[in-house]
Chain A
């Protein structure tokens, strides 16, 4: 069975500092990986995805994630965070059934 583990439930960081949100998955088949962001009192927004091709994927707001097959990881990084990045971040893997399997989420708290 496929599963996703987000290793940190909360990540506090100061503004303009770099951040990494960790995500590991388990799957014996081809994987399709996603990061979604949920701002307070809002729905989920797709941040970035890995389907195939280049293992480094980028979003329009400065986040990037690298698919690492040998380490079964898809960590999310940003070199310099803003207050507005404060949100809940969910890593997800697409199961062979078509379902999205979510991790438990990581709360990113950016402090001034």
Chain B
């Protein structure tokens, strides 16, 4: 089973709202990732968690706040977003996060900020 699940599938929020995106995997992977993807562009890495510790933060604005409650779950907390933050947010996981690891992606959450 190489499934990564993400909820919600779609999210519309105002600039003053607080919302969260959720990602889950049950493959026993120890690395999890958040990506942002704009239309017709490749995914851009935002954060990497390795063994439940934040290992990479690609200089993402503080209005995005990741959380890894356990090895199977990854959240992305959103607050005071801007319209330009509207995008597809993809979660991925991989066995170890290094070496010849393969990343498996979820279906994404389509976020619209009004």
Residues of chain A whose beta carbon lies under 8 Å from any beta carbon of chain B: 32, 34, 36, 41-46, 49, 51-52, 88, 90, 94, 98-100, 102-105, 107
5 inter-chain pairs at a CB distance below 8 angstroms, sorted by A residue, are A32-B100, A34-B102, A36-B105, A42-B108, A98-B48
The size of the chain B interface, using a CB distance under 8 A, is 26
B residues near A107, Cβ cutoff 8 Å: 40
Q: In the bound complex, do residue A98 and residue B42 qualify as a contact, i.e. CB atoms below 8 Å apart?
A: no
A105–B38 alpha-carbon span in the complex (Å) = 12
| Cα–Cα distance between A13 and B14 once the two chains are bound (Å) | 42
How far is A99 from B90 in the complex, measured between Cα atoms in Å? 15
3 cross-chain pairs, A with B, having the tightest CB-CB distances, nearest first: A102-B42, A44-B105, A43-B107
A44–B41 touching, CB < 8 Å: no
A46 to B48, CA, bound (A): 19
The residue from A34, A44, A98, A102 contacting B99, defined by CB atoms under 8 A apart? A98
- Given contact pairs A99-B56, A102-B43, A43 touches B98 in the complex (Cβ within 8 A): no
Known: A44-B43, A105-B42. A98 touches B107 (CB 8 A): no
On chain B, the residues within 8 Å of A94 by CB distance are 100-101
Q: CB within 8 Å of A: which of B31-51?
A: 40-43, 45, 48
B67 to chain A, nearest CB (A): 21
Q: Smallest CB-CB separation from A4: which chain B residue?
A: B42
CB-defined contacts of B6 to chain A, threshold 8 Å: 43
Tell me the complex Cα distance, A98–B56, Å.
Answer: 10
- Please give, as numbers and ranges, the residues of chain A lying within 8 Å of B40 by CB-CB distance: 88, 105, 107
Complex alpha-carbon distance, A34 and B103, angstroms? 10
A108 to B88, CA, bound (A): 20
CA distance A98 to B4 in the complex (A): 19
Cα A41 to Cα B92 in complex, Å, equals: 16
Residues in B with CB closer than 8 Å to A49 are 102
Q: Are B108 and A43 in contact (CB under 8 A)?
A: yes
Residues of chain A with a CB closer than 8 A to B45's CB = 99-100
